[in-house]
Amino acid sequence: MSKTWFITGASRGLGRAFTQAALERGDRVAATVRAPGALKDLAERHPDSLLALRLDVTDRAACFAAVNAAHAEFGRLDVVVNNAGYGLFGTVEAVTEEAARAQMDTNFFGALWVTQAALPHLRAQGAGHIVQVSSVAGIATFPLLSVYHASKWALEGMSETLAQEVATFGIRVTLLEPGPFRTDWAGDSAHRVEDIAAYDEPLAPFRTAYAADAGREPGDPARAAAALLTLVDAPEPPLRVLMGNLVADGVPGLYQERLRTWAEWEELARSVDFPEAVTPPAPRTQDA
């Protein structure tokens, strides 16, 4: 059965790949862009199944208007993909208030507004799938990307909570956690703050690595789109999905390190409750 999608940030990168893949398999898509005409070629090929909408996701009222327009056009929404976002490069000390707020407004609040706008329609249907495009940056951290990380960690927390709240209505939530993909995320799409000279030397290797990787990322947007189609067709989609070999190889070790640290400091962790509230750990059993 064909699906009806609402996809933000569809003009390029993963958003465009998702839009194109859905259209090519016969689905209907309401796709949002900031620049008029960004989807002209897709609209010409799919005039009856693509609704291109101009949207700045930082405008809450505009998000509600766009979602409602899509629902009015197609009659339902099956998959909502919050993809709009960008990277912000700069040290914690140097990032400006304006840059930090703009990053959170787009990457986190934009997804929140679209999600809020879609939920009444999905609840009325008794079904729906909200796909939040997070990142490996919502799991791990790297120098120069602090506020970008903050936006993705916020998205992760909100979305995991959302999944618990809406499961009873037949609504599923999935966080996509991609690694580096061959888009212009680190190129023209990225924002950069003027940094402080004291950080130039210690962080030079990271700047060099980011620049060297741009345009050579292993992730293929078309393959990510194919994976997303498989995901939204699954009867029980997961809350989180890693995307890319680098992420699949690296993330387990990150969690193992966290578990080791927690175990190392478990005694301290257990020392802070009132004595009457202390519950001894359950005895460990051995296999027979």
One of 3, 49, 86, 134 is an active-site residue; which one? Answer: 134
Rg (CA), the chain: 21
Give pLDDT tens digits for 226-272: 999 999 999 999 999 999 988 899 999 999 999 999 999 999 999 99
Is 255 noted as a catalytic residue in this protein?
Answer: no
Where is average pLDDT lowest: 125-134, 212-221, 247-256, 260-269?
Answer: 212-221
Write the pLDDT tens digit of every residue in 55-70.
Answer: 999 999 999 999 999 9
Q: Is 28 helix (H, G, I), strand (E, B) or coil?
A: strand
Residue 134 annotated to the active site: yes
Active-site residue, selected from the candidate residues 152, 159, 199, 210 = 152
The residue assigned the tokens 């929140």 is: 112
Mean residue pLDDT of the chain comes to 93
pLDDT digits (tens, 9 = 90+) for 144-155: 999 999 999 999
pTM of the model: 0.91
The Cα–Cα gap between 190 and 213 comes to: 14
Over residues 163-177, the pLDDT tens digits come to 999 999 999 999 999
Pairing between β-strand 88-89 and β-strand 28-33 as defined by DSSP bridges? unpaired
Look up 148 and say whether it is catalytic. yes
Catalytic residue among 3, 86, 148, 210: 148
Domains with residue ranges and CATH for the chain: 4-247 (3.40.50.720)
Comparing C-alpha atoms, which of 173, 91, 192 is closest to residue 133?
A: 173
